Amino acid sequence: MNAPQTFGAMGEESGFLASMQKAMAPVLDFLFPPHCPACDAYVETRGAWCAACLANALRIRRLPLSGAHRKVIDEAWAFGVYQGALRSLLLPLKFKGRTDGLPALGTFLRAADEKLPRAAWMPGIAVPVPLFPKKEKTRGYNQTELIFRAWLEADGWTWRRALLRTRMTEPQYGLDAVGRAANVRDAFTVSDDEAREAIAGRPVLLLDDIFTTGSTLAECARVLKKAGAESVVEWVLASDRD
């Protein structure tokens, strides 16, 4: 039985399945008690964290940008520390097609929400870093969209897939900073005229799950700025950078 792996998953569940899951929740909670994603301590509801682990993972900060990146990115912000709980929630989502960590990521975002300097950003256009279409088809989703979209839309942001990845790129994790920049150069384009119209002259919020060297985000920001975006602010769920 793999019920806990799908419980709470977002996506294309039918209404019937969703209501079945709701009805089954007490049974699942009994068979597989919800636990903190970081320390495994039992918690009251699925997706909850214990307060200490949540406080450890949450570290909202402005990320330093290299000179080249500063030319195209106005600000970059990370919400949490990558190593530890967030890594263990993100890896199965990215590489194993498992969405069961989403409720915990949702809890994390709601906690971040309270600490973000929200007044600095009026809700506008939110654009995810795209996956190569074939890769997204295989994975079944864009993880950045699953993480951020509902949370941002609830706050009045317009989610727009304004960028396309035009070629398959190597995984960034095996490359150094120079290799990473070369790997993603010219790998993105504005998806269509409608998207171009939507971003021209407007501030854009660019979203990704992880910030490592920022090469992918900088390349996306460069394309957005070239298409006329007034500014590009980046939010990522997690980073090891300070």
Beta strand pairing status for 158-159 and 203-211? unpaired
Amino acid identity of 148? F
List, in sequence order, every residue forming a beta bridge with 76; answer none if it has no partner: 234
Q: Which residue has the tokens 């384009």?
A: 189
Instruction: With residue 217 as reference, give the H or E element that holds it.
Output: helix 215-226
Rank residues 38 and 152 by Cβ distance to Zn ion and give the closer one: 38
| Least Cβ distance, residue 50 to Zn ion (angstroms) | 3
Taking CB under 5 A as the rule, does residue 48 contact Zn ion?
no
Taking CB under 5 A as the rule, does residue 25 contact Zn ion?
no
Taking CB under 5 A as the rule, does residue 104 contact Zn ion?
no
Taking CB under 5 A as the rule, does residue 53 contact Zn ion?
yes
**The binder of Zn ion chosen from 50, 60, 116, 164 (CB under 5 A):** 50
CB 172 within 8 A of CB 199: no
Taking CB under 5 A as the rule, does residue 36 contact Zn ion?
yes
List, in sequence order, every residue forming a beta bridge with 165; answer none if it has no partner: 188
Identify the CA nearest to 104 among candidates 153, 53, 59, 62. 53
Taking CB under 5 A as the rule, does residue 43 contact Zn ion?
no
| Least Cβ distance, residue 43 to Zn ion (angstroms) | 8
| Least Cβ distance, residue 64 to Zn ion (angstroms) | 29
Interaction site with Zn ion (CB under 5 A): 36, 38-39, 41, 50, 53
